[in-house]
Amino acid sequence: MTAEVGGRPWQNPPKYTTVEEALEFYIPRLTSDEVYDALLDSMELGIPLTTMADSMQSTAVMQGLHTIDVGILAMPVIIEMLAFIGDDAGIEYTLGTEKVIDEDKISQSKIALAMKKMRETLPKALDEGHMKEDMQEPDMPVEDTVEDEPQPSGLMARRV
């Protein structure tokens, strides 16, 4: 599970130390035949360009190609380049920067708060409920009411 210090690629000096060097690595790759089709497929599937750029730079950081700082700096250029490729190919893509406000969506914190309040109030309510039930007389058994079934009215029908 653990490794020696320097045993991982990201623990060693990066291959590309500046933004320009990193971009010289990325941009030819983005336009290469191997990656190009996969990129267009991902765009058509609706994967946001920001997500694609983020995963690209994270992978490169893990491979020890550049540092996180350089990756963060290079990301806007990668996103813009992806958008350029999408526009050039005539594909409708999502950048991922659009703010979607879903009014029906309740935030996790609000749900947690409501649950906490419920947990606090529920035992009290249950106790009060039991007390009231004990005070009340037992209910009389309810007779089953049988609805009048329609009588068969045919000539051959049995008469009751």
Partner 1 sequence: MDINPAVKAYTNLNITDEELIEAPKKSSMGLGLLSRTRKQEPKNNLTEPRDRVRDYVNTIRKKRKQINNGR
Q: Which tokens sit at 107?
A: 């935030």
> Distance between CA atoms of 148 and 144, rounded to whole angstroms?
12
Among 17, 20, 112, 152, binds partner 1 (CB under 8 A): 20
Task: Tell me which amino acid residue 31 is.
Answer: T
Among 11, 32, 41, 84, binds partner 1 (CB under 8 A): 84
Asked if residue 40 binds partner 1 (CB under 8 A), the reply is no
Asked if residue 35 binds partner 1 (CB under 8 A), the reply is no
Q: Which is nearer to partner 1, 2 or 107 (CB)?
A: 107
Alpha-carbon distances of 5 from 2, 9, 10, 14, 148, rounded to whole Å: 9, 10, 10, 15, 85
Encoded one letter per residue, x for contact with partner 1 by CB under 8 A and - for no contact, window 51-70 reads x-xx--x-------------
CA proximity to 50, closest of 27, 80, 22, 84: 80
CA proximity to 54, closest of 34, 35, 74, 38: 74
Asked if residue 112 binds partner 1 (CB under 8 A), the reply is no
For tokens 């708060």, what's the residue?
Answer: 113
> Distance between CA atoms of 136 and 29, rounded to whole angstroms?
78
Asked if residue 81 binds partner 1 (CB under 8 A), the reply is yes
Stretch touching partner 1 by CB under 8 A, among 45-53, 59-67, 134-142, 143-151: 45-53
**C-alpha dihedral (32, 35, 40, 42), degrees to nearest 10:** -160
Smallest distance from partner 1 to CB 39, Å: 15
Among 42, 67, 73, 94, binds partner 1 (CB under 8 A): 73
Smallest distance from partner 1 to CB 127, Å: 38
* Residues in contact with partner 1 by the rule CB under 8 A: 18-20, 23, 48, 50-51, 53-54, 57, 72-77, 79-81, 83-84, 87-88, 90, 95-97
